[in-house]
């Protein structure tokens, strides 16, 4: 959502964490354009997204490098895997994930979730907060988890 008017007053304090300045539509959005409209600053409202981290460098490379993913997982699985990663990066919390069969494993320490990529291939991740949000029952409050660590990929 784009707000085409200057945001000020109490509304600006409320929206400040979610606002990112962007180039005015009158002067273009291109990377080569360096002029920013001084009269009218447009804002883009950005919702908080899930932060990803990785258990080791190999997993980071697997998630960020398409060629490595194809070598390790195969063509079909790597394409689906990259889409699932994009889905993870787009949601605000783990409970917002609608694609991929999620299985919650509260018994393990730390609590883990496995998400199916394709037949027999799963991504295992856990909360990555300093103080993991918990319910009164002692289980993880997955609605408040906004940071996850990808622990492993199982075939």
Full-model pTM: 0.66
Instruction: Please tell me whether residues 146 and 124 are part of one structural domain.
Output: yes
What pLDDT score was predicted for residue 27? 46
What pLDDT score was predicted for residue 24? 47
Q: Which residue has the tokens 């990808």?
A: 150
Instruction: Please tell me whether residues 84 and 41 are part of one structural domain.
Output: no
Which range of residues forms the domain containing residue 6? 2-45
Determine what percent of the chain falls in helix, strand and coil, rounding each to the nearest 5: 30, 25, 45
User: Stretch 17-30: mean pLDDT, rounded?
Assistant: 48
CA dihedral sign, ordered 14, 130, 81, 119 = negative
Instruction: Please tell me whether residues 35 and 21 are part of one structural domain.
Output: yes
Six-digit token string for 97: 């994930």
Instruction: Please tell me whether residues 82 and 130 are part of one structural domain.
Output: yes
Instruction: Please tell me whether residues 37 and 55 are part of one structural domain.
Output: no
Please give the tally of structural domains in the chain.
2
Instruction: Please tell me whether residues 92 and 142 are part of one structural domain.
Output: yes
CA distances from 44 to 62, 80, 104 (A): 31, 29, 34
């Amino acid at each position: 959502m784009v707000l085409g008017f200057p945001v000020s007053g109490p509304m600006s304090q409320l929206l400040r964490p979610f606002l990112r300045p962007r180039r005015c539509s009158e002067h273009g959005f291109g990377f080569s354009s360096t002029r920013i409209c001084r009269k009218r600053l447009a804002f883009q409202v950005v919702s908080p997204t899930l932060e990803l981290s990785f258990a080791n460098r190999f997993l980071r490379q697997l998630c960020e490098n398409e060629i490595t993913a194809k070598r390790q997982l195969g063509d079909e699985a790597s394409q689906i895997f990259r889409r699932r990663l994009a889905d993870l990066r787009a949601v605000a919390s783990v409970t917002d994930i609608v694609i991929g069969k999620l299985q919650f494993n509260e018994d393990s320490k730390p609590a883990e979730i496995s998400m199916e990529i394709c037949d027999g291939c799963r991504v295992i991740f856990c909360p990555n907060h300093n103080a993991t949000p918990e319910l009164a029952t002692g289980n993880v409050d997955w609605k408040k988890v906004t940071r996850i660590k990808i622990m492993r990929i199982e075939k």
